[in-house]
């Protein structure tokens, strides 16, 4: 089960705390004037929480104070009015107060050193990869050079996935998959999750079919469109 650092208590807590328990997770809005780069950490954290909890079959609804930017594979907000009789297990809000009958839970994503000028240039999912390369509580450095490097890595991964797709299918590698999922469940430790993926890519003993199946599976959490180039001329 996913565990997150609750800014209210300072403790690492399970999300949700108990089956069927409502939980209102709040992501504070960024400072005014912080631009698109200031909006992304909170939206990405909420997006990752939805994706990770989806693997645990936890029903999530989310309401944001801003529309997610295009091209970053962020889930759109839910129209909560459309779900009056279907209360979610987890409700993620950005600025709205938590539900009165739900356990309050707050996370504080750090604002990265990400210039607004690099958002929207090149492959927008390279920006997503840069942000995944830092823990959501770590401001880190995410300048243009980082985005350029991430764009190259994305290209290499997509080429590899397209090449592996031609190989016979093999079961996913349990070792690397466990490392990836354990890291995601441990307070969204995406840097460690990405290291597992890089180690999988470089493993000379692992069949290409197993690499393909594992990469495709974990991309449902990463949201990097790693299958984009399958079937394209190489």
Q: Per this entry, what is the length of the chain?
A: 234
CA 24 to chain CA mean position, Å: 19
Same-domain check for residues 107 and 157: no
Q: Where are the alpha helices (DSSP H) in the chain?
A: 35-55, 124-132, 144-164, 174-185, 190-202, 208-222
CATH number of the domain to which 169 belongs: 1.20.120
User: What pTM value is reported for the model?
Assistant: 0.86
* Phi, psi (rounded to 5 degrees) for 50: -65, -45
Our count of domains for the chain comes to 2
In a domain, 128, yes or no: no
Q: Quick check: is 123 in a domain?
A: no
44 by Cβ neighbours in 10 Å (0-12 / 13-18 / 19+) ranks as buried
Strand-by-strand arrangement of the 23-26 sheet: 60-63, 90-93, 23-26, 103-106
d(CA 188, CA 136): 8
Whole-number pLDDT of residue 141: 63
Which domain, by its residues, includes 161?
Answer: 152-222
Q: Is 81 exposed, middle or buried (0-12, 13-18, 19+ CB in 10 A)?
A: exposed
Please check whether residues 49 and 102 belong to one and the same domain.
Answer: yes
Residue 104: predicted pLDDT? 63
For residue 92, what pLDDT is reported? 61
Q: Other C-beta atoms within 10 Å of 111: how many?
A: 16
Classify 64 in phi/psi space as left (phi over 0), alpha (psi -120 to 50) or beta: beta
Low-confidence ranges of the chain (pLDDT < 70): 16-34, 65-66, 80-104, 116-118, 120-121, 141-144, 234
For residues 15 and 2, is the Cβ–Cβ distance under 8 A?
Answer: yes
């Amino acid at each position: 089960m996913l565990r997150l650092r609750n800014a209210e208590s300072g403790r690492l807590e399970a999300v949700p705390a108990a089956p069927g328990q409502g939980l209102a997770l709040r992501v504070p809005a960024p400072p005014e004037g912080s631009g698109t780069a200031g909006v992304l950490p909170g939206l990405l954290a909420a997006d990752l929480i939805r994706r990770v909890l989806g693997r645990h079959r936890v029903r999530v609804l989310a309401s944001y104070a801003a529309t997610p930017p295009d091209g970053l594979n962020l889930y759109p907000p839910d129209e909560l009015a459309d779900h009056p009789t279907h209360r979610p297990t987890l409700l993620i809000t950005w600025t709205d107060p938590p539900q009165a009958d739900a356990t309050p839970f707050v996370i504080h994503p750090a604002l990265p050193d990400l210039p607004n000028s690099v958002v929207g240039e090149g492959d927008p999912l390279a920006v997503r990869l840069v942000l995944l390369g830092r823990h959501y509580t770590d401001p880190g450095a995410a300048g243009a050079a980082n985005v350029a490097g991430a764009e190259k890595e994305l290209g290499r991964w997509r080429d590899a996935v397209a090449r592996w797709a031609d190989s016979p299918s093999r079961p996913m590698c349990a070792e690397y998959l466990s490392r990836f999922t354990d890291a995601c469940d441990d307070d969204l430790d995406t840097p460690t999750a990405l290291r597992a993926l890089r180690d999988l890519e470089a493993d000379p003993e692992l069949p290409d079919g197993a690499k393909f199946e594992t990469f495709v599976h974990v991309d449902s959490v990463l949201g990097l469109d790693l299958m984009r180039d399958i079937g394209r001329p190489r």
